[in-house]
Amino acid sequence: MANARTFADVRNVILSAHKNTGAQDKVGFYDKWAENYEQDVALLDYRAPLLAAECVNSFCRGDREKITVLDVACGTGLVSSHLKKMGFHHFVGVDGSLGMLELAKKTGLYQQLTHCLLGQDPIPAEAATYDIVIIVGALSVGQVPLTIIRELWEAAKPGGYVCMTTRGNADNQDYKAELEQINRSLEEEKKWSCVTVVEVEEWEKAVSQEDDGYIPGAIYLYQKSIP
């Protein structure tokens, strides 16, 4: 029974996801995981969706009724669900897993949902369209490649916000450093400015033997420059 799942079950699932597999393997993994995903991340005490939503809500100005949100790697809709409770209403979701998208559709949160293999296919969004572009959970080693960051920037309106998260545990350190270097490069190009970087000690429960207790994570919020 699904409700009998334990932390050990979830740990095995997560560790299998982090194996060095190809993009299609990853998609297949998430398709299979979709049904248990929300229950499993609750067992992990996975705080990223709520923390990222709170970060956006703290800094974003403007009428929540009118603000448009592009939820990249939306999964089952956890991030948009939190944003909805904060007064946001207009959500467009993109994900590489049809299984996840099917569950996201059932939430009724999204005006539009699109299947897209992130990092291989371009994000299906017109340039300079969204007030908020958010990606939570997908930016880590073995997941979505960092080439996507410029696409996130492109999708945001001038003056709009891009919110990203990543893990801070040992096996993600190189990826995190590269992500931060790309972020700085876009600042140097005057493409965006840093609003805040939030380092979080208790991001989610650790699943690997190298990590103990909780692993850390980080939230990055940038505002796209106005020409």
pLDDT score, position 51: 97
Give the tens place of pLDDT for each residue, 143-157.
Answer: 899 999 999 999 999
Q: How many angstroms separate the Cα of 163 from the Cα of each of 74, 110, 136?
A: 13, 18, 8
In which band, very low, low, confident or very high, does the pLDDT at 1 lie, cut at 50, 70 and 90? very low
Q: How many angstroms separate the Cα of 147 from the Cα of each of 150, 178, 182?
A: 7, 11, 9
Structural domain of 7:
2-224
The rounded distance, in Å, linking the Cα atoms of 205 and 202 is 8
The rounded distance, in Å, linking the Cα atoms of 64 and 117 is 29
Number of domains in the chain: 1
Is the pLDDT at 2 greater than 60? The verdict is no
pLDDT score, position 206: 86
Is the pLDDT at 25 greater than 80? The verdict is no
Q: Which residues, other chains included, contact 81 with Cβ-Cβ below 8 Å and sequence gap of 6+?
A: 49, 107, 109
pLDDT score, position 24: 73
Q: What is the pTM of this model?
A: 0.93
The answer to whether 111 and 90 are in contact (CB under 8 A) is yes
**Higher pLDDT among residues 6 and 104, named by residue:** 104
**Cα 181 from chain centre:** 19
The rounded distance, in Å, linking the Cα atoms of 76 and 137 is 12
Mean pLDDT, range 166-173, rounded to an integer: 94
Task: Give the Cβ contact number of residue 68 at 10 Å.
Answer: 17
Rounded percentage of the chain residues whose pLDDT exceeds 90: 74
CATH number of the domain enclosing 111: 3.40.50.150
The rounded distance, in Å, linking the Cα atoms of 111 and 131 is 15
In which band, very low, low, confident or very high, does the pLDDT at 4 lie, cut at 50, 70 and 90? confident
Structure tokens at 15: 């560790």
